[in-house]
Amino acid sequence: MIKPYKISVPKSTLNNIYKKVRNYPWKDIQKLNGWTHGTNYKYLKSISKYWISKYNWKKQEKKLNSFSNFTTLIDGLKIHFIKEKGSGKNPTPLLLLHGWPGSIIEFLEIIQKLAHPEKYGGKIEDAFDVIVPSLPGFGFSGLPSKPYGPRKIAKVMNKLMINDLKYKKYIAQGGDWGATICNWLGYDHSANCKAIHINCLTMRHPKGAINKKERAWEKRFANDQIMQEGYRTIQATKPQSLSYSMIDSPIGVAAWILEKFHSWSDLKHGKIEKTYNKDILLTNIMIYLITKTFNTASWIYFGRREEGGRMFPKKFKKINIPTGIAIFPKEMSEWPPKSYLERIFKIKHWSVMKKGGHFAALEQPDLLVKDLRKFLKCL
């Protein structure tokens, strides 16, 4: 049963977080001020000072609650979601899926634009019913007792759209894990998911590269991943060990997450503070802290490994629903050649953006909104 939900964090929870930030032993940390070795000491200390002096969670909480929040039970697990009813007589249902280390925060600036395009220079016939869930184990959704991989999460998301929200057909969009879940929605649930739009590729064709361009891309990807694999390997093999330290360290969680926002974004002048305001970054981090979901959110990497990893099944059949691909230039991993993608997807829409990175909805919200409207017209 769907129930209205209001986010309300106790003052004691907030005070406990702020106390730990305030008392962090900065004097015991070596002052490495670049980003080469990990999160920049100077930047982390600066944003931590802002955190305890100017940041206002209750203001952000009010913003979150300005949307219609709900929860429902799916397979015994609480699933939280935002729903914004679109304008007009027949808005298209759109499922927006976040990844790690993101949250529903990624989509707050585009929900209204997608649901009510006529208010933002668009046409009412381009309106979407916008559904933004917290993935299982993330944010305001429930904590699973064991890891959920992206294929299992796709099954949960399809149930949300079909069984709980009573849509017969819908479109799904995502980056990072959201894109992976979109892939599985298209593969396993094409009877209901009529199209997907992705701005990241994490899955691989079981036959691998089959021509010179594809093999060259595979080699570049493997070399690029040498410096990307650290966090992923830990979270895919021993996430529980990491969680013992993170559950009690707001600064630790902030450092782990902020490094990815720095590494994976199209930074203006190379600076994270020129690309994201502190309130957005801290609110995303706070969602992990107040819900105590750093642990279960990281389990998705372990869950994917249990499901078979990056590879689609050996008997893979092409995802035969319309697919939109939006390539942002600073995506964390290079996209493969189009020939490779055409063996996986039925590509109906292809966009190459001039700017933007991994967190497309946060970095370039208007470009993503415009691209989704274009994709809708292809269907």
- In SS3 terms, the chain reads as CCEECCCCCCHHHHHHHHHHHHCCCHHHCCCCCCCCCCCCHHHHHHHHHHHHHCCCHHHHHHHHHCCCEEEEEECCEEEEEEEECCCCCCCEEEEEECCCCCCHHHHHHHHHHHHCHHHHCCCHHHCEEEEEECCCCCCCCCCCCCCCCHHHHHHHHHHHHHHHCCCCCEEEEECCHHHHHHHHHHHHCCCCEEEEEECCCCCECCCCCCCHHHHHHHHHHHHHHCCCHHHHHHHHHCHHHHHHHHCCCHHHHHHHHHHHHHHCCCCHHHCHHHCCCHHHHHHHHHHHHHCCCHHHHHHHHHHHHHHCCCECCCCCCCEEEEEEEEECCECCCCCCCHHHHHCCEEEEEEEECCCCECCHHHHCHHHHHHHHHHHHHHC
Catalytic residue among 176, 266, 279, 371: 176
For the segment 217-256, what is each residue's pLDDT rounded down to a tens digit? 999 998 888 888 889 889 999 999 999 999 999 999 999 9
| Count of residues in the chain | 379
Confirm whether 358 is a catalytic residue.
yes
Q: What is the per-residue pLDDT across 80-99, written as a single tens digit (0 to 9) for each?
A: 999 999 999 999 999 999 99
The per-residue pLDDT for range 263-305, each reduced to its tens digit, is 999 999 889 989 999 999 999 999 999 999 999 999 999 999 9
* Buried-state track 74-106, b at ≥16 Cβ within 10 A, e below 16: beebbbbbbbbebbbeebbbbbbbbbbbbbbbb
Whether 75 sits among the annotated catalytic residues: the reply is: no
- Of 24, 55, 301, 340, catalytic: 301
Tokens of 275: 């690309």
| Cα 292 to the center of its chain, rounded Å | 18
3-378 folds as Rossmann fold (3.40.50)
pLDDT tens-digit readout, 138-150 = 999 999 999 999 9
| Distances 29 to 22, 26, 241, 255 between C-alpha atoms, Å | 15, 5, 21, 13
Tens-digit pLDDT profile for residues 99-146: 999 999 999 999 999 999 999 999 999 999 999 999 999 999 999 999
Active-site option among 80, 98, 197, 358: 358
- The predicted pLDDT at position 161 comes to 98
Say whether 301 is catalytic.
yes
pLDDT of residue 229: 83
pLDDT at 372 over 90: yes
What pLDDT digit, counting tens, does each position of 189-202 carry? 999 999 999 999 99
Tell whether the model's pLDDT for residue 32 goes beyond 90: no
Residues 293-346 pLDDT 10s = 999 999 999 999 999 999 999 999 999 999 999 999 999 999 999 999 999 999
Residue carrying the six token digits 């080699």: 219
- In sequence order, which residues have a C-beta less than 8 Å from that of residue 240 and are 6 or more positions away? 295
Contact by Cβ (8 Å): 158, 166: no
Phi, psi torsion values for 61, nearest 5 degrees: -60, -40
- Judged by average pLDDT, the poorest of 28-37, 94-103, 191-200, 203-212 is 28-37
Whole-number pLDDT of residue 276? 96
Query: pTM higher than 0.75, yes or no?
Result: yes
Percent of the chain with pLDDT over 70: 100
